[in-house]
Amino acid sequence: MAKQKKFIFVTGGVLSSIGKGISAASIGMLMEQRGLKVTMIKMDPYLNVDPGTMSPFQHGEVFVLDDGAETDLDLGHYSRFVQSAQFTRKNSFTTGRIYDAVIRRERAGGYLGKTVQVIPHITDEIKRHMHEASNDVDLAIVEVGGTVGDIESLPFLEAIRQMRAEQGADNVLFVHLTLVPYIATAGELKTKPTQHSVRELREIGIQPDILLCRSDRKLPKDVKDKIGLFCNVPGEQVFSAIDVSSIYEVPLYFHEEGLDEKIAEKLGIWSGRPDLSKWAHMVEKIRNPKHEITIGIVGKYTDWRDSYKSLSEALIHGGVANDVRVNMLYIDSEEVEKGKDELLRSVDGILIPGGFGERGVEGKIQAIQYARQEGVPFFGICLGMQLAVIEFSRHVAGLKEANSAEFKPEGKENVIDIMESQKNLTDKGGTMRLGAYACQVQTKSAGKTTRAYSAYGRETISERHRHRFEVSNQFRAILEEKGLVFSGKHRNTENGTELVEMAELPNHPWFLGCQFHPEFLSKPLMPHPLFTAFIRAVRDANKGPQHSLKGIK
């Protein structure tokens, strides 16, 4: 007889950005450490089919999976906290994707003339997606995006309400994250927002089993009991979710509160206590590092840090691997264009992240030129690598008009160009190289081990991509002749062409760019090799840049 699959549904109330993603990921981490096979699912209530075309200012970063799925940034949290789960496009879906599937089926005659309605057709499709994403696991943790009370989330909430009736109360657990603010003038923790949020849930037929109460301090027992009384939840099932200095402390705090033990009890799960020693050691290294450095992240989304969420976390992971606290200074590339070179002089290493569009590009190129000429450790990711190739082409290889077809489509020296096979495609998603691609790492150049091979220690790797433009093979020979080493390449098995994956400068303290997004594979217990190598190089440099951009053209 097959083992009964369990579900935990995580909802949030009062306000957005309350921490559902981190809470769900922390629960997943704890239950995985108890020996369960866990998967995570994110349901987002917006009508976009996926976040791929959404502005980073509105929705933060787009997190890409191996299969090319463009997903919500919470999939990044899940990937960093739950170590063994393999996520695919099945683990993330939106209202738009659900409605698209139902409408396509209706147009194909799939409903045999029935009137298509939210209930049961939309809710059935939601449930079908949840079951499909949770095959062969012991526990599926499903985060419902949005805030309880929003009209957009209602079909998802109705679907999870039905799940309890269909799967049985012993196999479904509702966890609700809410806010308990401390009002300083009154000197009190206020429970009314939580009461109203739970009332909203109960009005649509969902009684939460566990309440996670977000607050800046631990909730006393009497406050927990009061919340439990008004929300029809036993006081021992009300847990504090306090603000912490690092998101990686959250599962340790939840375990200290007894959350995972209560979940196991409520779902009838027999398991051992989790071994959190490695995780606790990692957190201790974040709290008390031996060294400290500052990395300048030169980009154009610097006012919205969620645009670089995986990047900032990967830098922290690289710091953990090197006993380093990584301070991040976000530098608006347009400010560099205006001549504010003191921003670059104040950092120990420079990183240019991925991005799209021409705004701020020349400021990024200036920052790259500064790093190259002044010997500042440099790391370029996706667009960052492309701009490093453009900078080298202009100022070293003599290609004065070097540019990208993204910014100058008719340029004669476009060292960055779109793939020939993609030039006539009109679908924006169809022109992108998305997901995991193999890369062959060059071991040596001019008798010296390449930076890429030193970092990875192997000749074949796989990394995730999200881009539309590539280094043009037309200009590779002249760039290599001038000293740029293309230390990673992807070979297209269908037509035999090569695509550049990594470029580096051998006679520099550390200067490397990659076409892929290594931040998507970094985990706190398994830092990515390139971030580890970059942070080590910055640490070993011992001092930041002391020079000026004056005179650099």
In the set 200, 257, 470, 519, the catalytic residue is: 519
Question: Is 231 a known active-site residue?
Answer: no
Give the residue-averaged pLDDT of 45-74: 86
- Distance between CA atoms of 540 and 519, rounded to whole angstroms? 22
Per the annotation, the verdict on 519 as an active-site residue is yes
Q: Please check the confidence at residue 1 and state whether its pLDDT lies above 50.
A: no
Regarding the domain delimited by 290-418+433-541, which CATH topology (the fold level of the hierarchy) does it fall under?
A: Rossmann fold (3.40.50)
Catalytic residue among 77, 121, 517, 528: 517
pTM for the structure as a whole:
0.92
Query: Does position 428 have pLDDT exceeding 60, yes or no?
Result: no
Read off the pLDDT of each residue in 81-85 and give the average, rounded to a whole number.
94
Percent of the chain, pLDDT > 90? 83
- Whether 368 shows a pLDDT value over 70: the answer reads yes
pLDDT of residue 549: 40
Domain edges within the chain: 6-280, 290-418+433-541
Is 382 noted as a catalytic residue in this protein? Answer: yes
Contacts 24+ apart (CB under 8 A), 337-342: 337/362, 337/363, 337/366, 339/549, 341/370, 341/548, 341/549, 341/550
The tens digit of pLDDT for each residue in 182-209 reads 999 999 999 999 999 999 999 999 999 9
Residues 212, 185 contacting (CB under 8 angstroms) = no
Asked if pLDDT for residue 358 goes beyond 90, the answer is no
pLDDT score, position 4? 82
Tokens at residue 186, please? Answer: 């009154």
Res 302: pLDDT: 63
- The structure tokens listed for 430 are 């169809």
| Domain 6-280 matches domain 290-418+433-541 at the CATH topology level | yes
To the question of domain 6-280 being in CATH 3.50.50.60, the answer is: no
State residue 384's pLDDT score. Answer: 96
**Catalytic-role residue among 158, 255, 317, 382:** 382
